[in-house]
Amino acid sequence: MSNAQNERVTALDLSAILSLMLNVAQQAGDLVLTMQAAGLEKIASKSNQIDLVTEADLASEQLIHDELQKHYPSFGFWGEESNQAQDSDYFWVVDPIDGTTNFANGIPYFAINIALNHGPTTLLGVTHELPARNLFFAQLGHGAYQRTPSGDLQMRVNKVEKLSQAFLTTGFPYHRTDYEDNNLAEFGYFLTRTQGIRCMGSAAMDLVNVARGITSGYWEGWLGPWDAAPGVLMVREAGGEVTDYLGRAWQLTSKSLIASNGQPSLQSALVTGVQQARQNLKSIKLPASELT
Ligand code: 2AM
Ligand code: CA
């Protein structure tokens, strides 16, 4: 970032913006939990019948949009449900419910994601874990934390170096029934070479779990920028590394993601493993630029 950009960012008062983001994520959390308790009436499909959206996703995005725009009317807004890509100046990147399949089926593990970007750079990220109501956040250059009643706890990645000792998470894409390129090859590769793999249904929390050292790594393809933006900042601020399947630094536009505790041997074993597993695929769905 140039000095001029840095000054503008500082002039923004990022700590005030972070407080707003935490507050809005809490309001949205209350809303979706209330709606869930009252019973969800409309569970609709998006890209196909397993890609769900509920009225709570839409209401949560509306609330987050309205509250953020009220305070920062000049910032752009890139939310999963309205999905208008933003590429300039300051903009929010928002997932109103990450883990919608868990939410819609009553599994208590989902989250709300809010990030603030300046162009390609994520400055702030917040993940609100629900229904547990845990708040996680990071600020570029200032670390990653969990907010607790007794203060902010700094999150640090763990130090596992060997793939054989790594505890990993992953998730499967909504197109999994239609394409061979659906993460089964990668899953099979790592299943027999690691301590274990969990598929918990929230990409946002998968990244938080790497940042706080519970897991050592996480990989997944076809995520949206809203699934990953806050958690990627948290992993990096907690000492970890996040790349695409080719090992290049993850960006908002990346279609694949590998996060780790940043131990060079583990990160490279994850990248190599994904590439090796994908070699036998007959049809490829990831963009050529992210292929092996
Ligand atoms: P969502 O609940 O907001 O849709 C599941 O593996 C995790 O990946 C969820 O966090 C889900 O987010 C996210 N995800 C994003 N795009 C996906 C896709 N194309 N297929 C499956 N999961 C996807
Ligand atoms: Ca979502």
**Tens-digit pLDDT profile for residues 87-119:** 669 999 999 999 999 999 999 999 999 999 999
Mean pLDDT lowest for which of 93-97, 190-194, 276-280, 281-285? 281-285
What is the CATH number for 203?
A: 3.40.190.80
pLDDT the model gives residue 30? 98
Crossing angle for the helix pair 14-38 and 55-71, to the nearest 10 degrees:
160
Mean per-residue pLDDT, 37-53: 81
Q: Domain span at residue 274?
A: 163-281
Residues 170 and 250 placed together within one structural domain of the fold = yes
Q: Does the beta carbon of 221 lie inside 6 Å of ligand 1?
A: no
From 176, 199, 227, mutation site for ligand 1 pocket: most ligand atoms within 8 A of C-beta: 227
pLDDT over 80 at 289, yes or no = no
* 96 vs 227: CA distance, rounded Å: 10
Residues 277 and 201 placed together within one structural domain of the fold = yes
Point out the domain boundary residue: 123, 154, 185: 154
**Alpha carbon of 249 to ligand 2 centroid (Å):** 23
Higher pLDDT, 150 or 177: 150
Residues 37 and 70 placed together within one structural domain of the fold = yes
pLDDT the model gives residue 284? 79
Residues 67 and 30 placed together within one structural domain of the fold = yes
What is the CATH number for 89?
A: 3.30.540.10
Q: What is the mean pLDDT of the chain?
A: 92
Q: Does the beta carbon of 100 lie inside 6 Å of ligand 1?
A: yes
pLDDT the model gives residue 9? 56
Cβ contacts of 280 within 8 Å, gap of 6 or more? 185
Residues 18 and 134 placed together within one structural domain of the fold = yes
245, 274 in Cβ contact below 8 A? Answer: yes
Point out the domain boundary residue: 154, 179, 195: 154
What is the count of structural domains for the chain?
A: 2
**Alpha carbon of 230 to ligand 2 centroid (Å):** 14
Mean per-residue pLDDT, 229-240: 98
